[in-house]
Amino acid sequence: MPEIRSTPTPPSTGGRLVYAVGDVHGYAAALKALLADIARDAEASRPAETPLLVFVGDYVDRGPDSRGVIDLILETEASGRFEVVALKGNHEDALLRFLEEPAYASSWIGNWGETTIISYGIVPPEPHDTAACERAQARFAAAFPEGHRAFLGRLALQQTVGDYLFVHAGVRPGVALDAQIPRDLMWIRYDFLECADDFGKVVVHGHTPSAGRPEIKANRINIDTGVYFTGLLTAVRLEGETRRFIQAGV
């Protein structure tokens, strides 16, 4: 019997115009430039339906203006030009923990949070000074805007559009997409990255930087181009079966 092979259908959004923005990490100026390009592109594309704009998470830490990044996402949402879906990255997961847990302050400030607390007007303490870190945590929690707290509270873990699944980090191979746990969606790396299996959807993700250019595989698209060391922030534009990348520099 000859083997019957069907031609694989390219993944599609089902027609919808979708943009997904990679890990921003405090680079508000790059995000502003990228969003301006996306807005121009969306206008020129004349989509039948409001375009979807997905942010794959990791808005804060590393770069100089975490606060400005969240403000920009909230402004974009308020403009009504896009349906905005903001996903939760592991850095937002950690920031939420810092807001609740003084005992986590020293470790978070020492590893990740210093530039973030500075962007909210708090002078960073010496990370090894536990008491000073706990005082900074209390000041930060008091200064943290209500609108930003609400934003962190409503971040999504995943979004599906047609043949695409958008997540921050990835999915656990061998586990059904509807049975994935939040920790994997926000934190997984190599078990996901090294897996060539068909996950059932093409996974659009960030989290593990691919230096300067997006990484395109049959089963996933990595749009984290490591803005904090490459200076390049990347978005993917998907419409029907078409796929294109848009980049902005720091």
Site residues for Mn ion per CB under 5 A: 58, 89-90, 207
For 128, how many CA atoms within 13 A lie in the half-sphere containing its CB?
A: 0
Alpha helices in 156-226 (DSSP H): 182-187, 190-193
Beta pairing class for 215-216 and 17-21: unpaired
CA distances (Å), 248 to each of 4, 32, 212, in order? Answer: 45, 9, 11
Please tell me what DSSP assigns to residue 178. G
* Cβ proximity to Mn ion, 105 vs 188, nearer residue: 188
Contacts of 231 (CB under 8 A, 6+ apart): 30, 249, 250
Shortest separation between residue 23's beta carbon and Mn ion, angstroms: 6
* Cβ proximity to Mn ion, 57 vs 68, nearer residue: 57
SS3 helix, strand, coil % of the chain, rounded to 5? 40, 20, 40
Shortest separation between residue 90's beta carbon and Mn ion, angstroms: 4
* Cβ proximity to Mn ion, 51 vs 226, nearer residue: 226
Shortest separation between residue 92's beta carbon and Mn ion, angstroms: 9
Shortest separation between residue 186's beta carbon and Mn ion, angstroms: 7
Shortest separation between residue 57's beta carbon and Mn ion, angstroms: 6
Cα angle vertex 215, ends 165, 108, to 5°?
75
Nearest residue to Mn ion by CB is 207
How far apart (Å, rounded) are the C-alpha atoms in residues 214 and 221? Answer: 7
